[in-house]
């Protein structure tokens, strides 16, 4: 029921470590923390596990 329309996701790195995910969700660009209690991160990981979303590596 909480499914979101996630069209892109890419890790953002700080000093070599991934610090957040820049994702386009329901048409908006969101900065999503790597926090399992965050509802957007939880949904990103659910879709990754379901095989419907891939998170791009940081540039």
Partner 1 sequence: MSNARDFAARVPVDGALSNRNIIVNGAMVISQRGTSFTSVGNGDYTLDRFRVYSSGGGVFNVDQASDGPDDFTKSLKVTVATNDASIGSSDYYMLNSRLEGYDTAKFNFGTSAAKTVTLSFYVKSSLTGTFGGSFTNSSEANAYIFSYTINAANTWERKTVTITGQTSGTWATDNTNSIRIYWDLGCGSGNVSGSTGWGSGAYGLSSTVQLVGTSSATWQITGVQLEVGDTATPFEHRSYGDELARCQRYYQKDFSIYNEDGNNGFTAMFPFEMRTSPTATRTGNGVTSQENVPSQVSTSSRRIYIYNASLPTGGTFELDAEL
Told to check if 1 binds partner 1 by CB under 8 A, we report yes
Nearer to partner 1, 39 or 54 (CB): 39
Helices (H), 1-59: 39-49
Told to check if 35 binds partner 1 by CB under 8 A, we report yes
Told to check if 45 binds partner 1 by CB under 8 A, we report no
- Number of chain residues interacting with partner 1 (CB under 8 A): 22
Token pair 């969101």 in the structure block, residue: 30
Token pair 């820049």 in the structure block, residue: 22
Neighbour tally for 32: CB within 10 Å:
20
Smallest gap, in angstroms, from Cβ of residue 2 to partner 1? 6
């Amino acid at each position: 029921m909480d499914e979101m329309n996630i069209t892109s996701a890419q890790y953002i790195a700080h000093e070599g470590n991934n610090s957040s995910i820049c994702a386009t969700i329901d048409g908006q660009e969101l900065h999503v923390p790597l926090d399992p209690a965050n509802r957007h991160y939880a949904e990103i990981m659910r879709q990754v596990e379901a095989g419907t979303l891939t998170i791009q590596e940081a540039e």
